[in-house]
Amino acid sequence: MKIGYILQKDVKKILYDKKLLIIILIMPIVLMTILGFSLNSMFGVSERSISGIKIAVVKNYNPEVDLTRFEKNIQSGTISMGIDDDTKKLLLEAMDELDPEEIFFQFLESDNIKDIMSYTIENETTAREMLKNKEVDAVVILPDGYLYHSYMNFLTPSRNIVETQVLKRTSNQLKGGIVEALVDGFAQSMNNNALSKVITMDTILAYTEEDKIYEVAADIAQKTMMSVIDTDMDIKQVGIEEKKQLTSFQYYAAAIMAMFILYSAGYGGRQILEEKKEITLQRNQVAGVSFQKILTSTFLMICIVAILQSVVMIAYSRWVLKIYWGNWGLVAITVLLSSFTVASIGLLVAAITFRSNNFRIANIFESAIIQVMALLGGSFLPVEILPKFMQDLSYLAINGIAIKMYTGIMEGASLHDLTQYMGILGVMSLVFLVLATVVLKNRREAI
């Protein structure tokens, strides 16, 4: 009897099992739809407080150069025209008392902020590398001329633009969004006060001499130095390597699919023992079917079912939910690799279940192990919001690796970017198959 015939029989058995089809096809489709809608806010800028956010601050300016530049502008530049020596002296004294850099870092070190966020100061190259390597959640870049333009905004009627960049990983929308929202809120608050200063100076200019304007500016800066900072600070999000941002529908389409293909392994884990108890296994062996062929058929059956699950869920999410999956070739590779790994662990479950001669292991796998893998791998919640040690454990979950691959493809990852995940799935498959072989190695008696 050929393997193809046995495999065809096993697959037909699944297709006729309505209860199983509801579990492996209908339920995941319903869940990915519900979670996509209900958790959409988690994939934008969130207002919820999360601890452990790490950022790198880049100072792309030279304080000495900026101070010298502003001082020269007061002494002999455009600002010096129309103001007397006393006003120049007043502006220089105000400059000495005012430190825009200190104001920004005092904001980062305030009690409310430091409870959820810590920072280090790095150069831009190092900061970008840290972001790429997931050592920080965001990078805040204070641009060239930051102090000079801030002083111009503080102490003169000018409104210089200071463009501050917030770089964040698109794979961690939650923490990156919080950093962006906090920095943006700080800048907006400062801008409002700076705008009030400009309006006040413009109003006074209509009734007094120009040099008096600078006296007013210096006085305002001295009184409000902790609440006034540069005008028109534009917080600009810059994606790393032009990755596409994930939506909740994209994430949960991948997350739910990666979890529910594990149930194929649970079903396959029962297969051999069920056939033994129904005497089907014995009849097959009498007909000349070797135990190796039965194992191979079980492995292929689990793999095919996992592939069918993936194809159905991808098709539904693509045509109904309009989800963008990215490069279809890479998606196909991920489907095949994840299904192969699921089939491998399914064969291990089948081997242990058969060897123990009861369904306890298969039951534990379906009711507990799959749930633990779903939690650690990110099928319930994105792993980025879990504790650090649980994030590391996500690499031990089949669904966790599959989610990383699918979401990476959605963000524009290349085949090279996925090689480490492909390697992990390959090693997992090999380990599961070796363990299954060891479990069944000494099983010699007739079935």
Dihedral sign (CA 400, 255, 242, 131): negative
Residue 59 pairs with which residues in a beta bridge? 142
pLDDT score at 235: 39
Rounded to an integer, what distance in angstroms lies between the CA atom of residue 391 and that of residue 212?
60
Q: What number of residues does the chain have?
A: 447
Is 234:142 a contact under the CB 8 Å cutoff?
no
Q: Please tell me the distance from the alpha carbon of residue 389 to that of residue 283, in angstroms, as a whole number.
A: 49
Six token digits for residue 142: 């204070």
Q: Rounded to a whole number, what is the distance in angstroms from the first to the last CA of the chain?
A: 16
* 119 DSSP β-pair partners: 55
Is 90:215 a contact under the CB 8 Å cutoff? Answer: yes
For helices 85-97 and 146-155, what crossing angle results, to 10°? 130
Residue 363: CB atoms within 10 A of its CB come to 14
Bridge partners of residue 163, in order along the sequence: 234
Task: Name which of 381, 401, 405, 441 is nearest 50 in CA terms.
Answer: 381
Q: Where are the alpha helices (DSSP H) in 206-290?
A: 210-223, 248-260, 262-277, 280-286
Given this model, what pLDDT does residue 231 score? 37
Round to whole Å and give the CA distance between 318 and 178. 30
- CA proximity to 352, closest of 429, 284, 425, 268: 268
Residue with the two structure tokens 């005012």: 98
Longest alpha-carbon distance in the chain = 110
At residue 49, the pLDDT reads 42
Cβ atoms of 267 and 349 closer than 8 Å? no
Q: What's the token pair of residue 107?
A: 């904001």
Tell me how far apart the alpha carbons of residues 245 and 174 are, in angstroms, rounded to a whole number.
12
- b/e per residue 136-162 (b: at least 16 CB within 10 A): bbbbbbbbebbbbbbbbbbbbbbeeeb
pLDDT value, residue 445:
45
Alpha helices of 16-123 — where are they, by DSSP H? Answer: 18-21, 27-38, 63-76, 85-97, 100-108, 111-114
**Measuring CA to CA, which residue among 350, 367, 346, 345 is closest to residue 276?**
350
237 forms beta bridges with: 166
Nearest to 252 by CA among 202, 316, 198: 316
Return d(Cα 122, Cα 58) in angstroms, integer: 5
The whole-model pTM stands at 0.58
Tokens matching residue 302: 């689990």
- The Cα–Cα gap between 428 and 344 comes to 8
Q: Helix-strand-coil percent breakdown of the chain, rounded to 5?
A: 70, 5, 25
Average pLDDT per consecutive 10 residues, the chain (447 residues; last block may be shorter): 66 71 81 76 50 89 89 74 70 76 85 85 94 91 88 74 81 76 73 62 58 58 49 44 72 93 88 73 65 84 92 93 92 97 94 88 90 91 81 91 95 92 96 92 53
Q: What pLDDT sits at residue 41?
A: 55
Helix (H), strand (E), coil (C) string for 289-320: CCHHHHHHHHHHHHHHHHHHHHHHHHHHHHHC
